[in-house]
Structures are given as structure tokens and as C-alpha cells.
Structure 1
Amino acid sequence: MKFTRSIVQTTFQSPLGKMIIAATDNGLAGLWFEGQRHLPPELAGPVLWPSDPAHPVLQKVIGQLQEYFAGQRTQFDVPLDLAYGTAFQQSVWQALLKIPQGGTASYGEVSQRIGKPAAVRAVGAAVGRNPVSVIVPCHRVMGANGALTGYAGGLERKAALLTLEGVLQGSAS
């Protein structure tokens, strides 16, 4: 996944740890937990993208994340710029956007939804490479038996997000 130089970023301190938010003029291009797997190389060492906390998309994302983590938002309404993924990855990410809060889907169900029933492993790889954590809800994808499997931000965060959304029992709601 290659990002353009026009991207800007800022950070947000969520209840689950520091997050890096990146946007282009077209919309939100990235939302990662600091140190998660598959972090773009531009963020893995010294940050190469300019900081612009006043960027309107970044400001909108921060406001909506604050509402989400406070239990006051169930859907996000920010423009997305998912152009940095392959066509297949983009189809998977679009399918993830259709999993409602409070719901989950298995990797097999996602592969069925995109019309590629034999591509379960490739779907898993695309889910893992989702550049917009939380807002493109890859945390809502479960193993075939309903088990918590794979999450680039860590299984503890996945469990916390699903607890916040009422999928798992716990005290985060």
C-alpha cells in the first residue's frame, strides 16, 4: 500500500491507546493504533507525514471518535479515501462497512458477500490490512466458530471494541 505525499496526520489519545489519523483532501485515509501491525512505513519510524491537527477531516474524525468511545455514536459519518488499497482490498473494506454496530461476520461470510467464496484467506489478509481501524470495522470480523481471531491492533483492543458495542459482555458499555 503506497500513500501519496499529500497526506497529513495527527494523533488522538483514545481510551485504548494513542491513535494516528491520516487524511487527504478526499477523506480519511488511515486510522491506526500506535505500534499496530501493518503500520505504514511512513509512520513506523520518524513520522514522514506533516502534522495538521486543524485539517477539517481530522477534526471531524476526532470528534466522532470521542462520541464513539463515550458510547454516544453508533455510526461514523466521515468521507473515506480508501484508494490506497487494491481493488480486492477495497471490496473487502466496503463489505466491512456494512457490518452494523452490534453485529459480527465471519471471514467466510465476508468472502461470500463480495462474491469470492473461496477467497477466505485473502479476505483475512485484506481485513488485517484495513487502514482505517474502528471506522471501517474490521474488529467485527470473527473466526468461523465465533472466536476472537486476528486484529492488527491486538486482541485486547478487539475485545474492548466489541464490548463497547455490546457484542461481548463486559463493563465498557
Structure 2
Amino acid sequence: MKTVPRNLVSLSVSTPDGIFTAHYSERGLAGINFPSKQNPAATREPENVPTKIQAWHRLTSAALKRVVAGEAPGKFPPFDLSAGTEFQCAVWQAMLQIQSGQAKSYGEIAQAIGKPKAVRAVGGACGANPIPVLVPCHRVIAAGGKIGGFSSDMNWKRTLLKREGVIVS
């Protein structure tokens, strides 16, 4: 059964490409929002943020900045993926196995989780990914090397893949 994580804190992550918003629950990083004028980053004063969340945020910030720059992420904070279904969580875990500079097709992810006919459902799970960039849905592409879809602006997917050296058609 899926549960919606109770977000305790939302903090900004400033990158050369804009300000992301990271959302933390009591279990870990529960979401990331891309920079947007419609969804400004929410921040709290540092003294009001629990120590463990401050530590998680340092890891999130460093990893996010590295991935946006086209580098390997390094160490992650704990992820709170409790908002996902069992199927979605399996897809998200499979995406975490895709290394920087690599891409896998929706079909390859479906095969990896033992559901070879669930290609479209894999696409849906990618679109529902609450932690884009760190749970690298941008590295999942369509068959034949085509770019496929993306939950955010497609330019983000193209940019992230290009910075990682992945060529898509």
C-alpha cells in the first residue's frame, strides 16, 4: 500500500541551471522539483531544520550539483520512496542501477524487474518518479535510442543526457 510521505522540510539547492527544491520527510529525501518560476523554492532558516535533515541536504545538494554538471552523483541521502506503489519502487530501484553516461530503454527496465510486457507501465513509473535527476529517470530512453518522454521539460532530459555523454536521436 502506498503512503504519502509527510514532508517536514523543503530546502533550496542552487545550481548554475537554477534553484531546485528538495523535500524531506522523517525518512529521507522524498522529492525534488526542477527550477520553476511557478514553483519557487521553499526554504527554512537553518536553525529550524533538524540536524539529520541538514546532513541529508548537504548530500542532496552535492549529488544534485554533480549530476546536473554531468558527473557521477557520489553519495546519496536516504530516499523516502514510500509514496510509490510496489511496481513503481521496483522501477525506481532499477533506475538507480543505471550509471552516469549510460542509458537503458523502457523495455530493458521492464526486463530487469521481471515484467517484460510492462514497457508502458515503466514509462508511467518514470513519469511518477518523485526524485528526478538523483533517481535518474532521464537515463531511461525509448527503443532505438530515441529520447522518449520526461516528467519535466524535455530540454532537461536532453541537457542531462548530453552532459553525461549519452547520444540520443
Q: Same fold by TM (over 0.5)?
A: yes
Q: TM-score, normalised by structure 2?
A: 0.81
The aligned residue for residue 117 of structure 1 is: 116
* Letter of the 1:22 counterpart: H
Question: d(CA) in 2 for partners of 1:8 and 1:61?
Answer: 13
- C-alpha contact (below 8 Å) 2:12/2:21 kept by paired residues: yes
**Mapping of 1:9-24 within 5 angstroms?**
9-24=10-25
| Structure 1 spans left out of the alignment, 5+ residues | 36-43
Q: Which residue of the partner structure matches residue 144 of structure 1?
A: 143
Contact 1:128 1:151 in 2 (8 A): yes
Amino acid at match of 1:28: L
Instruction: Describe the SS at the equivalent of 1:29.
Output: strand
Residue identity in the other structure for 1:15: P
Counterparts of 1:153 and 1:114, CA distance in 2: 24
Q: What is the letter of the counterpart of residue 65 of structure 2?
A: Q
Q: CA shift at 1:149, angstroms?
A: 1.5
Distance 1:86 1:123 in 2: 12
CA RMSD of superposed structures (Å): 2.7
CA distance in 1 between counterparts of 2:135 and 2:109 reads 13
Residue identity over aligned pairs, in percent, reads 39
Matched residue, 1:7: 8
Which residue does 2:80 correspond to in 1?
81
In the TM superposition, residue 79 of structure 1 has moved relative to its aligned partner by 1.3
Q: How many residues align?
A: 161
Q: Is 90-99 or 5-14 further displaced after alignment?
A: 5-14
The AA in structure 1 aligned to 2:86 is: A
User: What TM-score, normalized to structure 1?
Assistant: 0.80
Equivalent residue runs for 1:48-59 within 5 Å: 51=44, 54=49, 55-59=54-58
SS across alignment from 2:144: coil
Measure how far apart 1:12 and its partner are.
Answer: 1.8
Question: Where do residues 124-143 of structure 1 align in structure 2 (5 Å cutoff)?
Answer: 124-143=123-142
Deviates more, 1:7-16 or 1:147-156: 7-16
Q: Is the 8 A contact 1:22 1:29 kept in 2?
A: yes
Q: Which has the higher helix share?
A: 2
Cα drift, residue 71 of structure 1 = 5.0
Distance 1:119 1:62, change over 3 A: same
Distance 1:15 1:50 in 2: 18
2:105·2:141 contact (CA, 8 Å) conserved in 1? yes
Matched, 1:27 2:37: no
